[in-house]
């Protein structure tokens, strides 16, 4: 055991293992795995390599935005399917794009409170399985049909059926639209792009770099966090499949804007992909680390949440990170590696611009000076959601586990993982890998 783990804090939350599925791009129609399938596939491998039995867990916390109709309280469904037994509780958290990070925060708090010692926390979503719903008019028509008993009543109901009744509601599109300000997520990205004067070319260049970095990481074989998964037909999936190593600014320039047509700048090419995936972290109190002799990969120091204007939801990280660092008396320069989820290239660039901007830092963030410049060589070093996708419930857990792995790889200490949250919030997690095994 290393230096740091000799001085284990009984109620601190240590990360002792993690695993995730490959992130699989939605390619039209439901993918081979439901959300719970993904979580089970990665989770059982992670549990299989532990020195303790699955029923030693205190709880399973799973972030998920789009559980299927058979996945009510998907956290409990997954806990049972993982063979944890009836005695291990399971629950589901939902904070939109940060659901997976919320799961980590909830685990952290329960460990800090002494209520849990060993928690499996993570996130999952099979966005390709998003339901297609009947419209309100159709639901009303169906209700009328069911009460119509006699033949004339039925014929009457049938005569009232119109083609417009059959127009389905695509739940995914509704979910990616803010119901309060009636803007799609892409439109909020357009707003902050304009605010910080981020043009199409910079967005596309950022996107190309994301693909390049992910491709390089795959090439170098550094994504050991991924566990292969297998579908019922015998297919196997080893790697994030949304990556385009041949992506280029020229190619991306050809894409049409999808949210603000025809003049916008945000395209499918410089936005996060619609993807299926799951990610887990195994968190243990200092006591549990000792009892089961677990290897410490790092410590979840703290999580911070911030609220922002829903129309500028992409700036969430700009608001969530500074108070977090301040609370722990850390200057941004002390952070060795950063993960900021790439919901949109424009949105990450806007966050960096906001931190660079003295006026924004002072007037909006309430800081004395500009928060600072983030070295992009230390940000999303292995690419991000533009290249590997953003399964809403899983990303918050993925960026935390990934920054931990990057710290380990580089023998560095502090990492921050942060993301913007649809509805106007930001979430940020500070991790400390000092003395990691």
Q: Which residue, 234 or 262, has its beta carbon nearer to another protein?
A: 234
Phi and psi torsions of 96, nearest 5°: 50, -125
Find residue 177's DSSP bridge partners.
184
Q: Which residue, 230 or 331, has its beta carbon nearer to another protein?
A: 230
Q: Which region among 45-53, 85-93, 302-310, 390-398 touches another protein (by CB under 8 A)?
A: 45-53
CB of 13 to another protein, least distance (A): 24
Which of 211, 319, 390, 402 is flagged as catalytic?
390
- Selected from 10, 11, 81, 356, the binder of another protein by CB under 8 A is 81
CB of 69 to another protein, least distance (A): 13
CB of 241 to another protein, least distance (A): 14
Q: Which residue, 4 or 16, has its beta carbon nearer to another protein?
A: 16
Tell me if 40 contacts another protein by CB under 8 A. Answer: yes
| CA 59 – CA 63 distance, rounded (Å) | 13
Q: Which residue, 32 or 135, has its beta carbon nearer to another protein?
A: 32
Active site residue 84: no
Terminal CA-to-CA distance of the chain, rounded, Å? Answer: 7
| CA 335 – CA 412 distance, rounded (Å) | 9
DSSP 301: E
Nearest in space to 299 (alpha carbons), one of 278, 280, 284: 284
Q: Which residue, 6 or 236, has its beta carbon nearer to another protein?
A: 236
Contact 277, 124 (CB under 8 A): yes
| CA 254 – CA 157 distance, rounded (Å) | 49
Q: Which residue, 190 or 405, has its beta carbon nearer to another protein?
A: 405
DSSP 226: B
- Selected from 236, 254, 261, 411, the binder of another protein by CB under 8 A is 236
Q: Which region among 6-14, 148-156, 235-243, 414-422 touches another protein (by CB under 8 A)?
A: 235-243
Active site residue 97: yes
Tell me if 72 contacts another protein by CB under 8 A. Answer: no
Alpha-carbon separation of residue 99 from 35, 201, 202 (angstroms):
13, 31, 29
- Selected from 29, 69, 234, 262, the binder of another protein by CB under 8 A is 234
Tell me if 233 contacts another protein by CB under 8 A. Answer: yes
Contact 337, 330 (CB under 8 A): no
- Selected from 179, 228, 245, 366, the binder of another protein by CB under 8 A is 228
CB of 281 to another protein, least distance (A): 18
Q: Token pair for residue 407?
A: 């710290």
| CA 266 – CA 347 distance, rounded (Å) | 10
The DSSP element (H or E) to which 1 belongs, if any, is none
Q: Which residue, 42 or 403, has its beta carbon nearer to another protein?
A: 42
Active site residue 64: no
Alpha-carbon separation of residue 243 from 4, 276, 315, 381 (angstroms):
37, 14, 25, 15
| CA 130 – CA 125 distance, rounded (Å) | 9
- Selected from 219, 232, 250, 359, the binder of another protein by CB under 8 A is 232
Binding mask 82-101 for another protein (x = CB under 8 A): xx------------------
Phi and psi torsions of 89, nearest 5°: -75, 160
Binding mask 415-434 for another protein (x = CB under 8 A): --------------------
| CA 67 – CA 74 distance, rounded (Å) | 7
Nearest in space to 63 (alpha carbons), one of 103, 4, 117: 103
CB of 78 to another protein, least distance (A): 10
Find residue 337's DSSP bridge partners.
415
Dihedral over alpha carbons 94, 95, 100, 101 (to 10 degrees): -140
Which of 97, 129, 211, 319 is flagged as catalytic?
97
Q: Which residue, 45 or 73, has its beta carbon nearer to another protein?
A: 45
Concatenated DSSP letters of 230-255: E-TTS-EE-S-----TT--HHHHHTS
Q: Which region among 77-85, 324-332, 366-374, 389-397 touches another protein (by CB under 8 A)?
A: 77-85
Contact 427, 96 (CB under 8 A): no
Tell me if 230 contacts another protein by CB under 8 A. Answer: yes
Tell me if 221 contacts another protein by CB under 8 A. Answer: no
Contact 432, 330 (CB under 8 A): no
Q: Which region among 126-134, 186-194, 230-238, 356-364 touches another protein (by CB under 8 A)?
A: 230-238
CB of 39 to another protein, least distance (A): 11
Binding interface with another protein (CB under 8 A): 40, 44-45, 48-49, 81-83, 228, 230-236, 238
Residues assigned a catalytic role: 97, 390, 420
């Amino acid at each position: 055991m290393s230096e740091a783990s000799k001085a284990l804090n009984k109620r601190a939350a240590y990360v002792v293992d993690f695993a995730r599925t490959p992130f699989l791009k939605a390619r039209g129609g439901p993918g081979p795995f439901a959300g719970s399938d993904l979580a089970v596939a990665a989770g059982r491998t992670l549990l299989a390599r532990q020195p303790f039995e699955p029923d030693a867990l205190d709880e399973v916390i799973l972030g998920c935005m789009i559980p299927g109709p058979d996945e009510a309280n998907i956290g409990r469904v997954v806990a049972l399917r993982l063979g944890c037994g009836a005695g291990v509780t399971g629950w589901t958290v939902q904070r939109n794009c940060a659901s997976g990070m919320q799961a980590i925060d909830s685990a952290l708090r329960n460990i800090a409170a002494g209520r849990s010692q060993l928690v499996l926390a993570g996130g999952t979503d099979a966005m390709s399985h998003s339901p297609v719903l009947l419209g309100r008019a159709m639901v009303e028509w169906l209700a009328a049909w069911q009460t119509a008993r006699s033949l004339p009543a039925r014929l009457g109901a049938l005569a009232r059926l119109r083609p417009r009744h059959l127009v389905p509601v695509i739940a995914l599109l509704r979910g990616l639209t803010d119901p309060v300000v009636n803007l799609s997520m892409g439109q909020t990205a357009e707003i902050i792009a304009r605010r910080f004067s981020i043009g199409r070319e910079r967005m596309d260049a950022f996107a190309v770099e994301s693909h390049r970095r992910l491709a390089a990481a795959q090439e170098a074989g550094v994504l050991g966090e991924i566990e292969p998964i297998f579908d019922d037909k015998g297919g196997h999936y080893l790697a994030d499949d949304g990556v385009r190593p041949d992506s280029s600014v020229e190619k991306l320039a050809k894409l049409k804007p999808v949210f603000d047509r025809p003049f916008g700048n945000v395209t499918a090419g410089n936005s996060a992909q619609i993807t299926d995936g799951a990610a887990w972290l195994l968190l243990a109190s200092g006591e549990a680390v000792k009892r089961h002799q677990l290897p410490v990969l790092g410590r979840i120091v703290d999580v911070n949440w911030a609220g922002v204007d829903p129309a500028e939801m992409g700036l969430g990280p700009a608001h969530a990170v500074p108070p977090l660092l301040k609370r722990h008396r850390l200057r941004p320069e002390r952070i060795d590696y950063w993960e900021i989820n790439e919901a949109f290239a424009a949105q990450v660039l806007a966050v960096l611009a906001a931190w660079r901007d003295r006026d924004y830092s002072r007037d909006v963030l309430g800081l004395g000076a500009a928060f600072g410049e983030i070295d992009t060589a230390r940000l999303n070093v292995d690419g991000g959601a533009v290249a590997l996708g953003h399964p809403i419930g899983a990303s918050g857990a993925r960026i935390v586990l990934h920054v931990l792995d990057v710290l380990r790889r580089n023998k560095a200490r502090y990492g921050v993982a942060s993301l913007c949250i649809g509805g106007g919030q930001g979430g940020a997690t500070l991790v400390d890998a000092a003395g990691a095994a």
